[in-house]
Amino acid sequence: MDLIAAYDARIEAGTLRPDAAQRGALPLFVPLMEHLRQPPPKPAGRLRSLFARPPDPPPGLYLWGGVGRGKSMLMDLFHEHAPTPAKRRVHFHAFMQEVHAGMHAARQKGTEDALAPVAAAVVRDLRLLCFDEMQITDITDAMIVGRLFQKLMAGGVVIVTTSNRPPEDLYKDGLNRALFLPFIALLNERMVVHQLQSETDYRQQRLQGEQVYFTPANAESDAAMTRMWDDLTGHDPGTPLELVVKGRKLVLPRHHNGVARASFWDLCGQPLGPADYLALAQAVRVLMISRIPLLSASNYNQAKRFVTLIDALYEAQVRVIASAADEPERLYVEGEGTFEFERTASRLREMQAADWGQA
């Protein structure tokens, strides 16, 4: 089944609504499908390998646009039907963490170019690599991603990625950004850059008119949030997403296509700070937070982290779905920090609005 037929089948089944912008983007995947239908090049002999290299793949695809427009859905549809078993779909941030771990292991062995064996392993195992939600916020990623992509492309790997921003806005205002600019040039030269200009935010549409703040936090609210998770993810169970910032780990137990679910204690029960929550806010578009307790002097450190978390989510316009012990204005019961929490309560209330995050 070709992609257009697969897309139309989902519309007929009622799992998708017709969208001209989405349908118009489907032909961009056709050259990639045709390339992947061809058998992979046979390994060259030792002598030939000195002079030969894999044929260049067709230009990859960089699909960008506003949140909830269907970028990840289109990429997933392509990945599902791509005619090769040597394929992988992965969240960009999670992949970069794997790259850093592989480079660390290579350095431990004394490898001079620690990136080379990591890239070689990807080239050996994959013909297609699909990245969801490409964004560059960390200087360690910014300094290696260009060389990484060059090695993957030279090895014949087809790359498809989604992003909320055009290549020119990646790592915007980042430290030593001049060193990152060649990567932007590489994306524009070696990938088809396409803006998905759908007028509809389908994630927001699913949440339109829905209750997004549940109290009290109990089995009933847990069940309601599970129903919302299933609706937003198409009943996908999700996989853990690990964010590493300055050596600290923040693990979201469930993540799928920009939607994440975690408990209050997953997010605020360990010593994390603004940089960690900023990375979280940039990695997800909908965050489900369960079992927010009453806050007071007895859990002051966790309460401070929660304030910082909500600030980061608010500024990034992340949609928050939460279950809590009480309404926002009554969450902080007494003690130091009561006054400071008033802004957090106000933001939690504002973030419940039906049009939140659509600006």
Report CA-CA distances (Å) from 153 to 35, 89, 109, 156, 336: 14, 17, 26, 5, 55
Q: What is the structure's pLDDT at 215?
A: 95
Q: What is the structure's pLDDT at 242?
A: 87
CB 66 within 8 A of CB 102: no
Angle ∠(341,207,243) on CA atoms, nearest 5: 60
Q: What is the structure's pLDDT at 209?
A: 67
- Indicate the DSSP class of residue 82: -
- Where in the chain are the domains? 3-195, 202-350
Q: What is the structure's pLDDT at 357?
A: 66
Which positions ≥6 away from 330 have C-beta within 8 Å?
Answer: none
Give the tens place of pLDDT for each residue, 318-344.
999 999 999 999 999 876 656 778 889
Give the tens place of pLDDT for each residue, 165-216.
899 999 888 888 999 999 999 999 999 999 998 766 666 666 666 899 999 9
Q: What is the structure's pLDDT at 86?
A: 96
Q: What is the mean pLDDT of each run of 10 residues along the chain (359 residues)?
A: 88 88 94 92 56 70 87 93 95 88 94 96 97 85 94 96 92 88 96 86 66 94 94 89 84 92 96 90 92 92 94 90 94 73 90 74
Helices (H), the chain: 3-13, 20-25, 30-37, 46-49, 71-81, 92-108, 115-125, 139-142, 145-154, 181-190, 202-207, 219-233, 264-268, 274-283, 300-315, 338-350
pTM value is 0.69
CB 147 within 8 A of CB 47: no
Q: What is the structure's pLDDT at 335?
A: 60
Nearest to 136 by CA among 279, 234, 3: 279
Q: What is the structure's pLDDT at 46?
A: 52
Q: What is the structure's pLDDT at 354?
A: 75
Looking up tokens 């205002």, which residue turns up?
Answer: 173
Query: Would you tell me which CATH number, out of the four given (3.30.70.2740, 2.40.30.10, 3.40.50.300, 1.10.150.130), belongs to the domain 3-195?
Result: 3.40.50.300
Which positions ≥6 away from 219 have C-beta within 8 Å?
Answer: none
Strand partners, 289: 262, 322
